[in-house]
Amino acid sequence: MLNFSFQNPTKIVFGEGEISKLESLIPQGKRVLLTYGGGSIKQNGVYEQVVKALNGSDFIEFGGIEANPGYETLIKAVALVKQENIDFLLAVGGGSVIDGTKFIAAAAKVDDDPWGILTGKVKVTDALPLGAVLTLPATGSESNGNSVVTRRETQEKLPFSSPLVYPAFAILDPTTTYSLPMRQVSNGIVDAFVHVMEQYLTYPVNAPVQDGFSETLLKTLISEGPKALQNPEAYDIRANIMWAATMALNGLIGQGVPQDWATHMIGHELTALHGMDHAQTLAVLLPSVMAYKKESKRQKLIQYAENVWGLAGSDDDKIDGAILKTRQFFESLSVPTRLSDYQVGAGHIDALVAQLQAHGMVKLGERQDITIDDSRQILEMSL
């Protein structure tokens, strides 16, 4: 096991009806900015529950945070926060709303150009406190310090991390996910699955606790995912997916083990240039990364094949079988796994590779050995 340092301060409040506890979770006397996305919370009853639970607290709203939250949108919220003396942010939505709200929280405390937070030029040393009401299990953003923001003007999608932007609390009510479009449910399952894989499918360091936790999450998503599509209002299924997705990226399973994240980094460029859903990029790229790095991931691929998919046979059979099973799992959730399914062709690869280069993504993977040329080959394998 590798040395590590781990702290996750977010309070998780989980279960049906728990939105009613909002008032007690927000520190008294705060002026709150309620942030949300396209407005689905106004149709599915979540907005009503939130406003009722705020119980007359002082709040204003900022809606319209889009999927892959837009820098151009978020800086408007930053201006509003400063103008209205907001001192608490309440994100109600999925990972995009929460990621965007983390950026607002950090940018509100910065005098320089806030874009520097994403390019690394501005260090985050302070942030507004925030809480979250999660309505879409996927990114784990409700219980971590990560955020990814997209600047449409320059077609850039960049992440930042800070312990200062962990939500103080996250309310996870599985019933808020009943009305999600199936595409979002599927995407969320793929996203959580790949988060686990990025922290699991590397090389062994004798860490059975971490490996067993990761395998548990993968098996839960494999078992519960298809059921959620068939029975959208089955509480336990939704609850298990929601809890698995949070555990997939709250930091715990990745402690003391190597981490990959090549799939994510290459995927961000596909979203930025081609507008593919984040999960779609992962479903396309992960099988290619697995196949391309078959040798350096060999031991963990065999373990994954045995423990997650129950495969037998020769080691090579297990590895090929596990990659195929992974692809089939994504396809079974109606998330296609080829670039051609998204109208991305060989002619687009040069531009994608150029963006990776521009963003310094030149040494990816758990061994930092995926070069620009390797990323090109991974993209070519994904056509």
Residue pair 353/376 in contact by the 8 Å Cβ criterion: yes
Q: For residues 249 and 161, what is the distance between their CA atoms, to the nearest angstrom?
A: 13
Helices (H), 40-115: 40-43, 46-54, 71-83, 95-107
In terms of CB distance, is 7 or 28 closer to a copy of itself? 7
Q: Among 151, 152, 219, 274, which residue interacts with a copy of itself (rule: CB under 8 A)?
A: 219
The CB-of-186 to a copy of itself minimum distance in angstroms stands at 19
Q: Among 36, 47, 62, 213, which residue interacts with a copy of itself (rule: CB under 8 A)?
A: 213
Q: What angle do CA 6, 240, 305 make, to 5 degrees?
A: 75
For 321, the token pair is: 């079988």
Which of 243, 254, 157 is CA-nearest to residue 198?
254
In terms of CB distance, is 70 or 137 closer to a copy of itself? 137
Q: Point out which span in 16-24, 77-85, 290-298, 359-367 binds a copy of itself (CB under 8 A).
A: 16-24
Q: For residues 82 and 109, what is the distance between their CA atoms, to the nearest angstrom?
A: 9
The residues in 45-84 that bind a copy of itself, with binding defined as CB under 8 A, are none
Residue pair 63/94 in contact by the 8 Å Cβ criterion: no
Burial of 170 (0-12, 13-18, 19+ CB in 10 A): buried
Q: Point out which span in 5-13, 288-296, 312-320, 330-338 binds a copy of itself (CB under 8 A).
A: 5-13
In terms of CB distance, is 192 or 378 closer to a copy of itself? 192
10 lies in the site for a copy of itself, by CB under 8 A: yes
Q: Point out which span in 34-42, 104-112, 233-241, 361-369 binds a copy of itself (CB under 8 A).
A: 233-241
The residues in 237-276 that bind a copy of itself, with binding defined as CB under 8 A, are 239-240, 243-244, 247, 252, 255-256
How many of the chain's residues bind a copy of itself (CB under 8 A)? Answer: 41
Is the CA virtual torsion 330, 336, 338, 339 positive or negative? Answer: negative
340 lies in the site for a copy of itself, by CB under 8 A: no
Contact residues toward a copy of itself (CB under 8 A) are: 1-18, 206-209, 211-213, 215-217, 219-220, 223-224, 236, 239-240, 243-244, 247, 252, 255-256
